[in-house]
């Protein structure tokens, strides 16, 4: 095990706009934006969350403790629309899809989380934060809704580095309303939505923030600002999510946090996170996997015909910063590679030196920008240790060698032993 001062990890830091060499503290606090639970988890979700699962595993392997938080966005407009379409109470739909999500991640060997907050559990705290932004003069009313005045934050837009034109386009495309009459600035974003219908299933009359905060529900961006700061404090060490969240979601989180800080003039105290790591999209049929496009490949469907380790290994063909087009045959190729590696190991064709070098190189690849491409090559090299004409008698392998290979596989979330196809009705 390495101590904290000797661990260095390279990755692309979105806020720095470059590759950084990160020396994490002994105890690492991470927050990852999670799912909106109105449909099954697709491979794009799994690739994103596997990135942080690998990072968590590597940090723990190197002797760090990790507090990992991944939220459930169960207060959001898409859930309400889907629940209405299905004729279900929205919380019933959210609970069903969250349960399915948990089952998929467990089957795919994901590490357990320290916290998985649901937005619906923090509405009072969100209302109090919106009230605080109103009192500081950066929140304002449009009719009864409450918006954040982006003109009062000179740094707004610097995190993404996007042009104003692109910001406006993304704000529109990703749920914003730049053209709403009454807003001070087109990029001002919703903090709280007032609800007039007393029968609305997702509205709250908050106690702490009344009467400034009307009956209603929080906007999307304030949810993660509040949940992350409540559970981790600020600035925490690393914030993650898909790169489609860079703008507007994470840009808005950062802006809010500057003003929610007690000392917003202090650059350190007003930061939300010290580092930001985003993942690229997985595509299928030439487009990003998306519910709206209907080009989804669901993890639960693959689990009906493939072992979990093969699915994880297939996804390791995609580097977190690059993503790419999903190629279905990669799962079968991953199964074949696992079969070859297992045959080499069970046949005793890996000596102590080869096992040690394999483990060291896997760890070096993870430390070098989570280089899963290189790990695929390392596994192929291990499989190639099979002799052209193996002896019929299995060679003996030391307990140390076997343990070393097993530990490296566990680091990657893979099972060295062959796994049955899960018997599941997710």
CATH of the domain at 88: 3.40.50.620
Residue-range definition of the domain harbouring residue 338: 312-322+329-411
Structural domain includes residue 351: yes
Same domain, 264 and 369: no
DSSP tag of 66: E
How many residues does the structure list for the chain?
A: 426
Q: Could you tell me if 170 and 70 lie in one domain? A: yes
Sort 350 into a burial class: Cβ within 10 Å, 0-12 / 13-18 / 19+: buried
256 & 395 share domain? no
The dihedrals phi and psi of 40, each to the nearest 5 degrees, come to -70, 155
Strand order in the sheet with 324-325: 287-288, 282-284, 324-325
Residue 294 lies in a domain: no
| CB crowding 206-217: b at 16 or more within 10 Å, else e | beebeebbbbbb
Please state the domain count of the chain: 2
117 class by beta-carbon count within 10 Å (0-12 exposed, 13-18 middle, 19+ buried):
buried
Q: Is 183 in the same domain as 134?
A: yes
pLDDT in tens, the chain (426 residues): 444 457 999 999 999 999 999 999 999 999 999 999 998 999 999 999 999 999 999 999 999 999 999 999 999 988 998 999 999 999 999 999 999 999 999 999 999 999 999 999 999 999 999 999 999 999 999 999 999 999 999 999 999 999 999 999 999 999 899 999 999 999 999 999 999 998 888 999 998 677 889 999 999 999 999 999 999 999 999 999 999 999 999 999 999 999 998 654 555 556 899 999 999 999 998 888 877 777 899 999 999 999 999 999 999 999 999 999 999 999 999 999 999 999 999 999 999 999 999 999 999 999 999 999 999 999 999 999 988 767 656 566 788 898 999 999 999 999 999 999 988 787
pLDDT value for 3: 46
388 plus 255 within the same structural domain: no
C-alpha distance across the termini of the chain, in Å = 38
In a domain, 423, yes or no: no
pLDDT of residue 241: 98
Residue 369 and residue 246 in one domain: no
In a domain, 291, yes or no: no
One domain for residues 224 and 150: yes
Question: Residue 300 domain-assigned?
Answer: no
Is 417 part of a structural domain of the chain?
A: no
Question: Is the domain of 118 the same as that of 267?
Answer: yes
92 and 204 assigned to the same domain: yes
Does residue 160 lie in a domain region? yes
Q: What pLDDT was estimated at residue 285?
A: 87
278 and 405 co-located in one domain: no
Query: Apex CA 85: angle with CA 84 and CA 86, to 5°?
Result: 90
Q: Are residues 219 and 338 in the same domain?
A: no
CA 265 to CA 298: how far, in whole Å?
46
Residue 406 located in a structural domain: yes
378 and 251 within one domain:
no
């Amino acid at each position: 095990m390495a101590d904290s001062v000797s661990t260095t990890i390279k990755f692309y830091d979105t806020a720095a706009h470059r590759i950084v060499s990160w020396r994490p503290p002994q105890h690492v606090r991470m927050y990852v934006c999670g799912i909106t639970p109105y449909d099954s988890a697709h491979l794009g979700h799994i690739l994103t969350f596997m990135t942080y699962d690998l990072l968590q595993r590597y940090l723990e392997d190197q002797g760090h403790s990790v507090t990992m938080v991944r939220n459930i966005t169960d207060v959001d407009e898409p859930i309400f629309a889907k629940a209405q379409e299905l004729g279900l109470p929205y919380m019933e739909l959210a609970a069903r899809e969250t349960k399915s999500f948990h089952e998929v991640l467990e089957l795919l060997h994901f590490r357990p989380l320290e916290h998985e907050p649901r937005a619906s559990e923090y509405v009072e705290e969100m209302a109090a934060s919106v009230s605080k932004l109103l009192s500081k003069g950066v929140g304002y009313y449009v009719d009864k809704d409450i918006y954040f005045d982006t003109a009062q934050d000179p740094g707004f837009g610097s995190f993404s580095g996007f042009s104003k034109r692109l910001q406006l386009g993304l704000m529109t495309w990703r749920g914003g309303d730049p053209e709403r009459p009454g807003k001070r600035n087109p990029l001002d974003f919703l903090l709280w939505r007032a609800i007039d219908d007393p029968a609305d299933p997702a509205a709250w009359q908050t106690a702490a923030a009344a009467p400034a905060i009307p009956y209603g529900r929080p906007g999307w961006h304030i949810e993660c600002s509040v949940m992350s700061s409540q559970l981790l404090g600020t600035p925490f060490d690393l914030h993650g999510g898909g790169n489609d969240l860079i703008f507007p979601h994470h840009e808005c989180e950062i802006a809010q946090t500057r003003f929610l800080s007690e000392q917003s003039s202090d650059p350190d105290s007003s930061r939300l996170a010290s580092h930001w790591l985003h993942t690229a999209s997985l595509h299928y049929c030439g487009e990003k996997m998306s519910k709206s496009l209907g080009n989804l490949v669901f993890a639960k469907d693959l689990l009906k015909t493939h072992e979990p380790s093969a699915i994880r290994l297939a996804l390791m063909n995609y580097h977190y910063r690059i993503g790419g087009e999903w190629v279905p045959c990669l799962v079968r190729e991953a199964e074949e590679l696992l079969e070859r590696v297992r045959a080499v190991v069970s046949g005793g064709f890996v000596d102590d030196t080869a096992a040690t070098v394999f483990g060291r190189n896997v760890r070096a690849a993870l430390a070098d920008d989570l280089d899963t491409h290189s790990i695929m090559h390392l596994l192929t090299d291990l499989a190639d240790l099979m002799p052209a004409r193996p002896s019929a008698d299995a060679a003996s392998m030391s307990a140390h060698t076997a343990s070393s290979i097993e530990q490296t596989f566990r680091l990657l979330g893979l099972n060295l032993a062959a796994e049955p196809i899960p018997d599941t009705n997710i």
